[in-house]
């Protein structure tokens, strides 16, 4: 029991820890230990001691998924910032109003957009994101394709620096079906080469970097006698 000291005025003070205090300290210690245990369990090194191999793999896979999703969201945010004018200009609060929204039933608008994309004299839009629009009351679960058109004065190529792009949101499946048809109908002489990797990115990075470096190293100028002769080799002319 606590030893209490009473003064002449009748006020008593405890000179040792009261039972209530002990309970509070005890509870705090237990909570802290519990939290520490939970936190420690999150550490992979600790999990390896306590969890069965199957549970450990399941836990790790949940962590992998979370990391990939977070990475993907962050990249999408960076792209939005880039097409929104860069760090200085981009305001995330205006996101809901700056996107022109085309719905599945707006077939005419989709066709107009499509003809604009297929126009080889105009810059082609960049793919900003493929996302659901949770603020869309009608179809919050449907996936949308977010496209951004570079400024008209930037030429046909995609500008490297951030800029204010024109933004449009279209239904993913409906629009891609139209886009695929348009590309199937269009003749192209451009081939595609897909690099799949199983080397933690070493091989793919090496090849793409080498290809990029080659490009810079081989630009040369020639005097031509006959345009027709060289035209079959797709040589570019600057007159």
Neighbouring residues of 233: CB distance < 8 A, sequence distance ≥ 6: none
- Residues facing 130 on adjacent strands: 145
Which C-beta is closer to other proteins: that of 23 or that of 62?
A: 62
- Residues facing 12 on adjacent strands: 6
Residue 60: Cβ-neighbour burial (10 angstroms; 0-12, 13-18, 19+): middle
Place of tokens 């996936």: 143
Which C-beta is closer to other proteins: that of 26 or that of 155?
A: 155
Which C-beta is closer to other proteins: that of 93 or that of 225?
A: 225
- Residues facing 6 on adjacent strands: 12
Least CB distance to other proteins at residue 2 (A): 50
- Residues facing 114 on adjacent strands: none
Which C-beta is closer to other proteins: that of 20 or that of 237?
A: 237
Structure tokens at 27: 């509870």
Least CB distance to other proteins at residue 38 (A): 18
Neighbours of 139 (CB within 10 A): 13
Report phi then psi at 222, rounded to 5: -130, 155
Which C-beta is closer to other proteins: that of 7 or that of 233?
A: 233
Least CB distance to other proteins at residue 142 (A): 7
Least CB distance to other proteins at residue 223 (A): 7
Least CB distance to other proteins at residue 110 (A): 13
Which of helix, strand or coil describes residue 33? Answer: helix
DSSP track, 138-159 = S-TTSEEEEEEEPPGGG-SSPP
Structure tokens at 238: 């600057």
Least CB distance to other proteins at residue 48 (A): 6
Which C-beta is closer to other proteins: that of 30 or that of 156?
A: 156
């Amino acid at each position: 029991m606590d030893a209490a000291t009473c003064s002449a005025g009748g006020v008593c003070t405890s000179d040792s820890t009261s039972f209530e205090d002990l309970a509070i300290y005890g509870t705090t210690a237990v909570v802290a230990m519990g939290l520490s245990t939970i936190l420690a369990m999150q550490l992979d090194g600790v999990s390896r001691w306590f969890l069965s191999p199957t549970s450990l793999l399941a836990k790790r896979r949940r962590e992998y998924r979370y990391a990939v999703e977070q990475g993907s969201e962050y990249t999408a945010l960076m792209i939005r910032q880039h097409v929104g004018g860069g760090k200085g200009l981009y305001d995330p609060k205006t996101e809901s109003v700056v996107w022109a929204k085309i719905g599945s039933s707006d077939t005419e608008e989709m066709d107009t957009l499509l003809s604009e994309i297929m126009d080889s004299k105009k810059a082609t839009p960049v793919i900003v994101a493929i996302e659901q629009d949770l603020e869309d009351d009608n179809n919050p679960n449907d996936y949308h394709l977010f496209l951004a058109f570079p400024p008209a004065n930037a030429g046909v190529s995609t500008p490297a620096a951030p800029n204010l792009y024109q933004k449009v949101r279209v239904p993913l499946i409906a629009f891609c079906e139209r886009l695929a048809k348009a590309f199937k109908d269009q003749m192209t002489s451009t081939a595609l080469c897909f690099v799949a990797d199983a080397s933690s990115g070493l091989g793919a990075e090496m090849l793409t970097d080498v290809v990029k470096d080659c490009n810079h190293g081989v630009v040369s100028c020639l005097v031509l006698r006959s345009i027709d002769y060289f035209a079959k080799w797709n040589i570019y002319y600057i007159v």
